């Protein structure tokens, strides 16, 4: 996990460090979604098209395990 510090401007603006913007594929004018959580805030890029997700999941996704999880959750909702 990478940790950086930033400062809030007098207008309430926050600068996201360049390394973070590059990793999340965030560019000037892009929108982000801000979540308020118990432990602080979370900032994520607003996904407007699937191409924005490219590179976010660099680790291998285990599709079989994911499918099993989805099937298990679907069964819980069936009557």
CA–chain centroid gap for 76, Å, is 27
Sign, Cα dihedral of 22, 27, 33, 38: positive
Task: List, for residues 31-74, the tens digit of each pLDDT value.
Answer: 888 889 888 988 888 866 665 556 555 555 667 777 888 888 88
* pLDDT for the residue numbered 60: 55
Domain edges within the chain: 18-77
Task: List, for residues 18-41, the tens digit of each pLDDT value.
Answer: 999 888 888 898 888 888 988 898
Residue 23 or residue 79, greater confidence: 23
- Looking at the chain, the number of H-run helices and the number of E-run strands are 2, 2
Contact yes or no for 15/8 (Cβ under 8 A): no
Please give the share of the chain, as a percent, with pLDDT higher than 90. Answer: 20
């Amino acid at each position: 996990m990478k940790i950086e510090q930033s400062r809030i401007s007098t207008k309430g603006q926050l600068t996201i460090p360049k390394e973070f913007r590059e990793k999340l594929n965030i560019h000037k004018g892009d929108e982000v979604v801000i979540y308020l959580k118990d432990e602080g805030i979370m900032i994520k890029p607003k996904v407007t098209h699937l191409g924005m997700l490219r590179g976010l999941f660099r680790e291998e996704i285990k599709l079989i395990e994911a499918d099993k999880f989805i099937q298990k959750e679907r069964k819980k909702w069936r009557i």
